[in-house]
Chain A
Amino acid sequence: MKGIKLIACLSLGAAAAATAICVQAATPAAPAAYKAPLNAYGQPDLEGTWTNASLTTLERSKEFGARKALSDAEVKKIEGEDAKMVAEGNAPTDPKVKTTDLPHECGRGFSGAGCGYNVAWIDPGSTVMRVNGEPRSSFLTEPADGRLPPLKAGVVLPPMYAHRGENPENMTLAERCLTSFGYSAGPIMLPLLYNNNYEIAQSKDTVAIVVEMVHDVRLIHIGGKHRTDGERPWMGDSIGWYEGPTLVVETTNFPQDTALHGAWKDLKVTERFTRVGPHRVLYQFKAVDPSVWDQPIAGEYEFSASKGRIFEYACHEGNYALEGILSGARADEAAAAEKAKAAAANKTAAAAPVTGTKKQ
């Protein structure tokens, strides 16, 4: 089971690495009819359990060009295809079928044994993202084509899977249970294949965002100042303030290990959280890193209220997959060495002159 989970996650990780990112910001105004509640401190009340699960992705499919809104027909097609895939995935599996008989393609980029989870185990959302009711083709709204801008000349992303399997440190942060896959914790906070749940809690001087994967808590210091000691904590260094109904969060000091599509050293992410309905929080984001991109990236989506509470995601404590991967790599090496040894022995035997003692 662990191995199956891992395969699915790896595929997701690879996809995230290839497309990663972020966002931006648009400035949609909150619907005038809704007045966001205040909490006991007189701050905009953002507390609750929220999810950003969505069929909409960070980047826009090229077929939509500069169009950020989807038509009704396009929504029906996207959501219909997902529902069909889910129904097929939920169909009983013939117990006689082997992993080698698995369908070549099973959706979301997975195939064969990499099909991983049954659909019951994943929760990527079943609807496209709607912002102020408008169905969206991507989270990104800037650049206008909804796609990440090219990296500046000379910027090279480190290979993601170099020396994979050689040491635990060569594995991804998520496989090591250090952070989530993709950018679940953020910032920028982006949905994944599953566990797209967050809890927001507010005190007078702190906002805590609990991230289901991997039970990370991002603490935002209201009225605080960025650290200047050169240290770069996980998830960066977040400070915040309130602007009317909106919580504004500014994050800098990102570590290289959690680079956002190559951006970390000079990266500044600005997020805006605005409650736009009893069960909706508008999330807008903007990321700037002049050393990586020639232009900001920005985008938006809406969190919706999660129906349940967040359960514990104790990743490390059950991470049999990492041990399995490393053990598997060592087994592969041993098998390869044995095969090479046998081949060498055969070659030697074939090349050796025929000798023997004739009986006189």
Chain B
Amino acid sequence: MYTPHTPDEIQAMLAAIGVPSLEALSSVPPGLEIKDKLGLPPALAESDAYAHIKALAERNGAARMISFLGAGAYRHYQPPAVPWFAMRSEFLTAYTPYQAEASQGSLQAIFEWQTYICLLTGMDVSNASLYDGATALVEGVIMALHAKARHRVIISRGVHPLYRAVLDTYAAGMGIEIIELPVGSDGLTDFSVLGSTPPQADCVVVQTPNFFGNIENTAAAAELARAADALTISVTAEALSLALLKTPRELGADIAVGEAQSFGLPVGYGGPYVGFIASTKEHVRRLPGRLVGETTDVDGRRAFVLTLQGREQHIRRELATSNICTNQALCALIATVYLATVGSKGLRAIASANVERARQLAQAVSAIPGFSIAHSSPFFNEFCLRTPSPAEDIAARLRERGILAGLPLSRFYPELTNMLLLCATELTTTEDIRLLTAELAKEHSRAVAAV
């Protein structure tokens, strides 16, 4: 038991308070007591609990399969140094760093995260983290809303469908109109559909690389934004791409949002991950959540402290820039330790390996008759593969043989029944590619035989 009280101690404490029993002290008004058993399973001894949960972990066969799944959660190498240092008790069991004197470790780590995000995105300022890439997009949209007050968002259909679904949830409650830009047969956003006088909006949102894996023309998005008197928001779902590609800032974005799970966080059945948000300096006061700044203490030492708290919920209450309180501090720390551990050199090498493996994969699978790469646009580590028969069926059959053959796109784009989204990372081996190719070749034979 985690409570240390002995019976004698309980008696002594009750006597000090002047109450006869624990029951008397913690009683609730009549009618509110819990009368019956709640039906929870009986308490387990620690070793039994461990065994029980271990068995549940082992019942997730998909965790052991050869995986070509990306689509917003990426399987990357986690150097052992990363959890070794990031999960130290002094970081893991620390509280939010409101008391600067007691939290310089956490505060400096956040300052370093903020700096890394700025260096990666080319932006001037970044916050201390948000829940994930999808909610980071929502917060970016809210920033633009505060700047322009039009309640209208222009967003590419190439932005991750789950990010758009989350935006839709918030937009419904906040009275925001969403205008979608289509993705063409080239797998890229068509920025021309709104013509030369688009409706005025708060923001234009584009994801690059987009959900289909293709590198988008962010400059075209910025041009549309200018015509719409809107801010440009660039979304990054695969943060590793920032190591190689031109920064959102260079491409004309005002706000950069995204997901940093690729930096050392496990895919972990969906979370916790870590969202980032960064902007040019004119928007600093609109940034949501926590910000860490550098200052000095009374003795002149360098010190870090939470700042601009006037924007936040605990001071500004209903006029706060956002309601966010707890964020993803430890996940941001894991990402920061990852970036420190791999460095510029390592990050570029890992990103280059992703580019190379994805091309090897693309070459191998497109050589199978009946299969072809859907788009000719440049990609990072994901691409779409056209299949000879419905992708859902192919994926289901390959699952039975221990392979997760990417994501059938019909799940989110019902018109794309014969398309798979495939991802290769630095962890994808030649053997993995060979096995996938062999199994897909069988699918071709199957499709031919069915005709």
Q: Do A and B bind each other?
A: no
Where the two chains meet, the residues of B that have a C-beta atom closer than 8 Å to any C-beta of A are none
Where the two chains meet, the residues of A that have a C-beta atom closer than 8 Å to any C-beta of B are none
